[in-house]
Chains A and B, each alone.
Chain A
Amino acid sequence: NNSSQLSSLPLQILLYVNGIYYIFYFLASLAMLIYKSQVFSYPDDFLAPDLAVLFLMAILEVPRLYLGFSGNLTEAEVPLGLSLGLTVGSVVLCVYLLLWQTYVLRADVLLNAVLLAAYGLESGLKVTAIAAFVS
């Protein structure tokens, strides 16, 4: 990092790519849920939690990314910390979709694994960024 600029460029790039990837992930997961509900035996009380988790994750993603962007650019550690907290929640939901969904297809595994890796990398970069801002 340049000594005058504390914002983390890799974090910025990663957040940007995460945003684009998340849109694709959300649409693909929703399409696959619809496909699963038609092809497999999917009673309503198993379909409802899966749908709820997917939509909750989408709702969490928006403030998470926004706080990440603004925190990194303004070099403020509070938004970045909040974003980190929301990331933890997103990770939990992602793990649910990876392991505890009613039907986990191979495509589900791939999508969620990539997202989980992105979250993990982001969290690491956010921690170093916060450390840089604080110090």
Chain B
Amino acid sequence: MSVDDDIINQVVAEQLLTAQNWRMVKAHDGRTCLDMIEAAQVLPDLLLLDVMMPGMSGYEVCTRLRKKYSSALLPIIMVSACCAEKDVVQAFRSGADDYVMKPYKRTELTERIKAHIRARDAAKGFDDLAARVLEGTSSSVEGRDPGHTLLAYPACLLLVTKLAGLAARLH
């Protein structure tokens, strides 16, 4: 999803992304973006979020989204023509995963998007695996040989801890 009040930027972004066989959904302001995400059955794979927009700024949109969705669920790349340190810092403090300058550089933008989607998929994979391990551990405790359980439990706990640590670093 691309959120930008400028139509030229949206058209260029769409051509750039469709060239990579990605489908782009557009929103022209922050409120529309939040409403679309709320109404959607499936979250977008990634959000390109302009900073300066009328009404709600990109910072505010990002802050609100992060209250509900972690980076593992919704990577957010903030985009802006401003490159001052304070703007970049504010973007990361509001929960952005990356900050890209406009006008877009085709190769740079597409590689950044791919990197964030890889990271998101890896984090999801760890979360799923950790959930399955914990599920397996609790079913062991319920019905099986206590000796087995005593041996299996610390090993599972160690594995889950390591996975959680790795997932946290990716987040």
A and B: interacting chains: no
